[in-house]
Amino acid sequence: MGNLLHIRSGPLPAWLLRSHLRNPCALPVRNLPRPFGTSFLPAQLPGKAKDSPAVFGRRRRTSVSLAVSAETGPQKVNVLFVCLGNICRSPSAEAVFKDKVAKAGLTDHFSIDSCGLGGGNEDWYLDRGWAYHEGHRADERMRETATTRGFDLTSRSRPLKPEDLTAFDYILGMDFDNMALMQIAADHWAATKDIPANYRNKVKLMCSFIPKSSSYNGVKEVPDPYWDDDRERRGFHRVLDLLEDACAGLLDTVVKEHGLQPK
């Protein structure tokens, strides 16, 4: 990762710094920078009731049939996977989901991508901001672990952009900190850019799609394996375990909501 988040509220206590070194996603949401003095909890957004379908992490079920044009083919469902640096979890989710979509014969119905949230640089979403790992391939350990399961991680890291909130129909965060960072960026962009009013309906936790039948049902977050130094790479395997189940549930949900049929 190369750097730690700078916390506006003051220096990190030693115990929290040690926790962050082990897991860069372990920082509490309350310590993340908040533009405009906003107060955000992943379970409830400002001005939204707890049972609102616009709350991050909650599913909003709809029934939509995709139009088919003789000239352009089927309208695509756009899916974006998001994590902190876009080098471990989200590129893995992208590869796993593409594989499941292809095996279901639905490749022509989807546009699938992944992105990051600065990789630890707190100003990544500002006009002159930048993101760690941008342009880099996925972490070598993640790529090697994914290869053992037949998944090929080919994407290059990029940060989330304002236009992504318009272009994508499903935006999947890997953990609650990812959800908070997306909220912060969207709040900032909304002041100067055209952000769709319904973008909150699109943003959901990846693990919310894990099927009830899965042994991982009840797991809330996909943990960041970046600091995992286990020779067996159990942290990387756990990421893939969770993503395989979550992607299966996500595909099932999208197929039902959009009435997709194999080509």
**Cβ contact 226:139 at 8 Å:** yes
What is the pairing mode between strands 110-115 and 73-74?
unpaired
Instruction: State the catalytic residue, choosing from 25, 34, 88, 89.
Output: 89
Instruction: State the catalytic residue, choosing from 139, 177, 224, 228.
Output: 224
- 83 is annotated as an active-site residue: yes
What is the pairing mode between strands 68-69 and 77-82?
unpaired
- 8 is annotated as an active-site residue: no
- 89 is annotated as an active-site residue: yes
| Sheet containing strand 170-173, strands side by side | 110-115, 77-82, 170-173, 203-205
Using alpha carbons only, give the angle 75, 97, 25 rounded to the nearest 5 degrees.
120
The residues, any chain, with a CB within 8 Å of residue 228's CB and separated by 6 or more, are: 141, 234, 235, 236
CA distance 111 to 190: 25
H helix and E strand count, the chain: 7, 6
DSSP character at residue 30: G
Taking the CA atoms of residue 26, residue 29, residue 33 and residue 36 in that order, the dihedral angle to the nearest 10 degrees is 170
Instruction: State the catalytic residue, choosing from 25, 34, 58, 83.
Output: 83
Q: What would the DSSP string read from start to end of 108-151?
A: GGEEEEEEBSGGG-TTTTSTT---TTTTPBPPHHHHHHHHTTT-
CA distance 124 to 139: 20
Task: List, by residue number, the catalytic residues.
Answer: 83, 89, 224
